[in-house]
Structure 1
Amino acid sequence: MPRQSVDRVLYVEDDPDIRAVAELALVDVAGFEARLCESGQQALEQVDDFHPDLVLLDVMMPGMDGPETLRALQERPGGLPVPAVFMTARLQPEEIEEYRAMGAIGVIPKPFDPMTLGDQIRELLAGREGA
Structure 2
Amino acid sequence: MLSAIFLLLACQLVGEALHRITGLALPGSVIGMVLLLGWLALVRRERPTLGAVSGWLTAHLSIMFVPAAVGLMQEGPALARYGLGLALATGVSTVLTIVVTALVFRWALRRFTPDEVGKRPVQLAEPGA
**Bucket of the pairwise TM-score, normalised by the shorter protein:** under 0.3
The two structures have a TM-score, normalised by structure 2, of 0.23
Q: Greater relative contact order: 1 or 2 (C-alpha under 8 angstroms, separation 6 or more)? A: 1
Q: Which protein shows a greater Rg?
A: 2
The two structures have a TM-score, normalised by structure 1, of 0.23
